[in-house]
């Protein structure tokens, strides 16, 4: 019998699960497991063949499976404030209960890898874990880029030195030598994965876009957990090719609904309401074609060297940059993706992303005239979101986008 080729979606779902299966097996076999922040230099762990899982990714999964609420409550009962990022609260809750009623669970870590490029919360979060579990924490400090041009040479040297130090820590922990040739290979694969990821999500620029934007949120998990593996690179390549075939056939995001409006989603998804937000958008024919959140994993670098790698971890992450960096990306997106509007998720959890919202929104309105709305929600705390308020804002956005389209037609 001829073997039926799996679709990228099938592969993606399998890979998403396998990350946790592999880590659980490693744990069982007595091998060390690492917990890492979302955008940390996995290259080191991949080189050392240390199975790594990502509590932020796990938190998102818990949110989407409606399991985050109870974990958050456990953390709050212990005294963690409800003002702390809910990814962190999820994880603190999980550390306490150590198990959820789900096929996928998070094996307990033997070491931690933290990178400060996303926020300060992760640093305190991981320090806390390191202290409570008495395990080593490897840390890459990526100084915030106050300068529009990005990281300075002395910042790069500072980060390079830290990587060498982390390598020595890893050698000590595992009792194995670090293989620099393998490291180079892993960096090369990671670079290619990053490029295919950008190419794949860039397909949404076609009108209509065959990608319904929530695919970005789904495939993103692979970028978080697996980008040092050739399977991830191949997955994004396949996804890109499948999507381009759909473009050639003129297919839109849905079979039973037309793509009427194209928007950018600012911020993290509302994982507990992923389905609801998706359905509501679809109901109005709104396709999310771009988002700054998946773009955070724009870890592309031009040569497989430590300097080039740390530069990417520092400079490419919008959360580690001043407003103009992201603003320019937004302004470019409005054209590249033929946007009709923007929706900003004022996320109770993620202050570094929220703080920029009003400033960015103001300039985007001034420069492009595109309508946008802000709604309140949270990435994993299910208590913050209000369905009626979300829909009212969304419908208002539709009315504004419609008005703008009418106005344009009249001008023609």
Partner 1 sequence: MFLGIDIGSSSSKAVLLDEEKRVLAEEALNLGTGSNGISQVLEQVYSKTGRTPKDILYSVVTGYGRNVYKGADAQVTEISCHAKGVTHLFGEARTVIDIGGQDAKVIRLDGEGNVADFVMNDKCAAGTGRFLEVMARVLNCDIYRLSDLAAKSLRGTQISSVCTVFAEAEVISQLSLGSKVEDVAKGALQSVAKRVCGQARRIQVAPQVVMTGGVALIPEAVHMVEKELGEEIAVPGSPQTVGALGAALFAWEKYHR
121 to 160, contacts with ligand SF4 by CB under 6 A?
121-122
Q: Which residues of 305-325 are buried (b: 16+ CB within 10 A; e: fewer)?
A: ebbebbbbbbbbbbbbbeeeb
| From ligand SF4, partner 1, none, interface partner of 357 (C-beta below 5 to 8 A by class) | none
Q: Give the whole-angstrom CA distance, residue 220 versus residue 390.
A: 24
Half-sphere exposure of residue 165, counting CA atoms within 13 Å on the CB side? 12
Q: Residue 82 gets which letter from DSSP?
A: T
User: Which of 198-215 are b and which e, b meaning 16 or more Cβ less than 10 Å from the residue's Cβ?
Assistant: bbbbebbbbebbbbbbbb
Q: Is 384 in the site for partner 1 (CB under 8 A)?
A: yes
Give min distance, CB of 119 to ligand SF4, in A. 3
* Residue placing its CB nearer to partner 1 in the complex, 26 or 394: 394
Binding partner of residue 346 among ligand SF4, partner 1, none, CB cut-off 5 to 8 Å per kind: partner 1
CB of 278 to partner 1, least distance (A): 18
Taking contact as CB under 6 A, which single stretch among the options 5-13, 255-263, 345-353, 398-406 is the one that binds ligand SF4? Answer: 345-353
Nearest approach in angstroms of CB 157 to partner 1 is 42
Question: Of 117, 11, 98, 111, whose CA–CA distance to 58 is shortest?
Answer: 98
Q: Report residue 56 CA to chain centroid gap.
A: 9
Site map 293..332 versus ligand SF4, x via CB under 6 A: --------------------------x-------------
358 contact choice in partner 1, ligand SF4, none (CB below 5 to 8 Å, kind-dependent): partner 1
Residue 396 in contact with partner 1, rule: CB under 8 A? yes
* Binding to ligand SF4, residues 46-65 (CB under 6 A): 56
Choose from partner 1, ligand SF4, none: what does 393 bind? Cβ within 5-8 Å by kind. Answer: partner 1
User: Is 191:301 a contact under the CB 8 Å cutoff?
Assistant: yes
The answer to the question of residue 399 lying near partner 1 (CB under 8 A) is yes
Q: Interacting stretch for ligand SF4, rule CB under 6 A, among 7-15, 270-278, 348-356, 366-374?
A: 348-356
d(CA 376, CA 317): 24
| Dist CA 63 CA 94 (whole Å) | 13
Stretch that binds partner 1, among 18-26, 284-292, 295-303, 391-399 (CB under 8 A): 391-399
Rg (CA), the chain: 21
* Gap between the Cα atoms of 35 and 142, Å rounded: 19
Q: In what order do the strands lie in the sheet with 111-115?
A: 51-53, 33-36, 111-115, 137-140
Window 318-377: residues binding partner 1 (CB under 8 A):
346, 358, 365, 371, 373-374, 376
| CA distances to 40, 80, 105, 159, 305 from 92, in Å | 20, 8, 14, 29, 35
In the region spanning residues 354 to 393, those forming contacts with ligand SF4, defined by CB under 6 A, are 379
Binding partner of residue 316 among ligand SF4, partner 1, none, CB cut-off 5 to 8 Å per kind: none
70 alpha carbon, distance to own chain's centre? 23
State the Cα angle at 281 between 276 and 283, rounded to 5°. Answer: 95
Of 244 and 400, CB closest to partner 1: 400
Asked if 119 interacts with ligand SF4 (CB under 6 A), we say yes
Half-sphere exposure of 242 (CA within 13 A, CB side): 16
Binding-site size, partner 1 (CB under 8 A): 20
Q: Which does 400 bind (CB under 5 to 8 A by kind): ligand SF4, partner 1, none?
A: partner 1
Tell me the three state secondary structure of residue 180. helix
Stretch binding ligand SF4 (CB under 6 A), from 116-124, 214-222, 253-261, 306-314? 116-124
Q: How many Å separate Cα 311 from the centre of its chain?
A: 19
According to the binding rule CB under 6 A, does residue 87 interact with ligand SF4?
Answer: yes
Binding site for ligand SF4 (CB under 6 A): 56, 85, 87, 118-119, 121-122, 319, 349-350, 352-353, 379
Residue numbers at the binding site for partner 1 (CB under 8 A): 346, 358, 365, 371, 373-374, 376, 384-386, 388-389, 391-393, 395-396, 399-400, 403
């Amino acid at each position: 019998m001829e073997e039926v080729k799996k679709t990228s979606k099938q592969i993606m779902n399998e890979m998403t699960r396998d990350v946790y299966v592999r880590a659980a097996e490693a744990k069982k076999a007595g091998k060390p497991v690492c917990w890492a922040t979302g955008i940390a230099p996995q290259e080191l762990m991949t080189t050392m063949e240390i199975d790594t899982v990502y509590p932020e990714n796990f938190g998102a999964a818990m949110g989407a499976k409606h399991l985050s609420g109870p974990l958050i409550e456990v953390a709050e009962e212990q005294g963690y404030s409800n003002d702390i990022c809910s990814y962190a609260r999820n994880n603190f809750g999980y550390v306490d209960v150590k198990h959820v009623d789900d096929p996928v669970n998070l094996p307990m870590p033997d070491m931690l890898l933290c990178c400060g490029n996303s926020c300060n919360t992760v640093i305190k979060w991981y320090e806390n874990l390191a202290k409570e579990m008495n395990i080593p924490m490897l840390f890459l400090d990526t100084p915030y880029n106050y300068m529009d041009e990005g990281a300075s040479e002395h910042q790069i040297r500072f980060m390079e030195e830290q990587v060498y130090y982390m390598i020595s820590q890893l050698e000590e922990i595992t009792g194995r030598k670090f293989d620099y040739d393998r490291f180079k290979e892993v960096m090369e694969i990671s670079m290619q994965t990053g490029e295919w990821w950008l190419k794949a999500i860039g397909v949404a620029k076609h009108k209509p876009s065959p990608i319904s934007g929530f695919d970005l949120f789904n495939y993103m998990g692979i970028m978080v957990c697996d980008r040092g593996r050739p399977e991830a690179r191949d997955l994004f390549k396949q996804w890109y090719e499948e999507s381009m075939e759909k473009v050639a056939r003129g297919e839109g995001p849905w079979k039973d609904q037309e793509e009427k409006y194209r928007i950018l989603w600012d911020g993290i998804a509302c994982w507990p309401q992923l389905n609801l937000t998706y359905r509501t958008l679809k109901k109005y024919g709104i396709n999310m074609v771009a988002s700054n959140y998946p773009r955070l994993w724009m870890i592309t670098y031009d040569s497989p060297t430590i300097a080039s790698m740390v530069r990417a971890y520092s400079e490419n992450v919008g959360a580690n940059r001043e407003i103009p960096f992201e603003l320019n990306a937004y302004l470019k997106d409005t054209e590249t993706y033929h946007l009709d509007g923007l929706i900003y998720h004022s996320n109770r959890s993620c202050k570094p992303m929220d703080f920029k919202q009003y400033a960015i929104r103001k300039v985007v309105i001034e420069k492009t005239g595109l309508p946008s709305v802000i709604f309140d929600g949270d990435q994993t705390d299910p208590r913050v979101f209000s369905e009626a308020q979300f829909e009212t804002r969304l419908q208002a956005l539709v009315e504004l986008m419609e008005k703008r389209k009418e106005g344009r037609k009249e001008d023609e």
